[in-house]
């Protein structure tokens, strides 16, 4: 009976690992306040995509823990930073909820830029 319990615990741990949350560290190197949107990757006209939104002052940073449950089971997401509706927003696309990222928003001549870097687990 102990062998069955150990095997169950072992295989349960293997199947559990990919479901753990990834982390998203966001830095706003833009001097202006950004509106940050995090939303599931997909076709927004067809699908009801989950979305998170927050405001971030210039120079601030924050951290998120993301899971597929947050995005209705999807494991890919996008993050967008926008200073105002009249300039282009910076978007990093197709990030995985199972990986860790550092995302940096910067100011450029036409609006905001987004750069994503995958971090070691």
pLDDT of 93-102, one tens digit each?
A: 999 999 999 9
Domains with residue ranges and CATH for the chain: 21-119 (2.60.40.1430)
Q: Supply angle C-alpha 81, 83, 85, rounded to 5.
A: 100
Q: Is the pLDDT of residue 12 over 50?
A: no
Q: Pairing between strand 100-108 and 22-28? A: parallel
Q: Classify residue 120 by its DSSP letter.
A: P
Over residues 96-109, the mean pLDDT reads 95
**Quick one: residue 94, left, alpha or beta (phi over 0 = left, psi -120 to 50 = alpha)?**
left
Return d(Cα 12, Cα 27) in angstroms, integer.
36
Alpha carbons within 13 A on the beta-carbon side of 84: 5
Does residue 39 have a pLDDT over 60?
yes
pLDDT higher than threshold 80 for residue 115? yes
53-97 pLDDT, tens digit per residue, is: 899 999 999 999 998 888 888 899 999 999 988 889 999 999 999
pLDDT category, 44, cuts 50, 70, 90? low
Strands 100-108 and 90-96: unpaired
Are the C-beta atoms of residues 35 and 28 closer than 8 Å to each other?
A: no
pLDDT at 63: 94
- CB 23 within 8 Å of CB 99: no
């Amino acid at each position: 009976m102990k062998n069955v319990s150990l095997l169950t615990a072992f295989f349960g741990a293997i199947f559990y690992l990919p479901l753990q949350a990834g982390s998203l560290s966001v830095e706003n190197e833009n001097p202006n306040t950004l509106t940050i949107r995090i939303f599931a990757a997909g076709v927004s006209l067809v699908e009801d995509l989950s979305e998170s939104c927050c405001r971030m002052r210039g120079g601030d940073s924050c951290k998120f823990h993301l899971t597929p449950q947050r995005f209705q089971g999807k494991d890919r997401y996008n993050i967008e930073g926008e200073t105002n509706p009249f300039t282009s927003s910076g978007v990093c696309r197709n990030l995985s909820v199972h990986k860790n990222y550092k995302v940096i928003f910067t100011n450029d001549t036409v609006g905001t830029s987004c750069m994503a870097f995958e971090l070691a687990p």
